[in-house]
Amino acid sequence: MTDIPVIAIVDDDAGMRQSLDGLIRSLGYRATLFESAEAFLGAPEAKSCQCVVSDLQMPGGMDGIELARAVDDRLQGRVILISAFLDDAVQERALEAGVYRFLRKPFDGEELVGCIEAMLEA
């Protein structure tokens, strides 16, 4: 029996979380949803995730780059950041933090699917 990959969605926007949840589930994967980086890091479900899709900017706490730095070794290089605010300096910080890929909002769902599938195959 094959384990179904679990993808964590970390975004303070409930609409975005629900939209990404539908996309992930349509691929046959399981999704876990979190409204903050702290909620993800503190959740028991985090240990079963193979990938994290996170917003870059979240109010009142850790941002997506800090989340990428904080994930355990098992998830290093398995964080995809999404944001409308991806300038060169942010992209450099994200790469230094070990982010796998970053996508600019609005992004094409197929582009995210391709990133997730490539990551899971690696």
The parent domain of residue 79 ranges over: 6-121
> How far apart, in whole angstroms, are the C-alpha atoms of residue 75 and residue 77?
6
Give the model confidence (pLDDT) of 27-83 as tens digits.
Answer: 999 999 999 999 999 999 898 899 999 999 998 889 999 999 999 777 888 999 999
Domain annotation covers residue 1 = no
Domain annotation covers residue 81 = yes
Domain annotation covers residue 77 = yes
> How far apart, in whole angstroms, are the C-alpha atoms of residue 80 and residue 118?
12
User: How would you class 104 by CB atoms within 10 Å of its CB: exposed for 0-12, middle for 13-18, buried for 19 or more?
Assistant: middle
E-strand stretches of the chain: 6-10, 30-34, 51-55, 79-83, 101-104
- Specify the CATH number for the domain of residue 97: 3.40.50.2300
Contact (CB, 8 A) for 10 and 67: yes
Estimate the crossing angle of helix 109-121 against helix 14-26, to 10 degrees: 60
Domain count across the chain: 1
| % the chain with pLDDT above 70 | 98
- pLDDT, greater one: 100 or 59: 100
What integer pLDDT is reported at residue 100 of this predicted model? 93
Give the model confidence (pLDDT) of 40-56 as tens digits.
Answer: 999 998 988 999 999 99
CB atoms within 10 A of CB 91: 15
Contact (CB, 8 A) for 63 and 56: yes
First to last CA, the chain: 20
Closest C-alpha among 67, 96, 61 to residue 79? 67
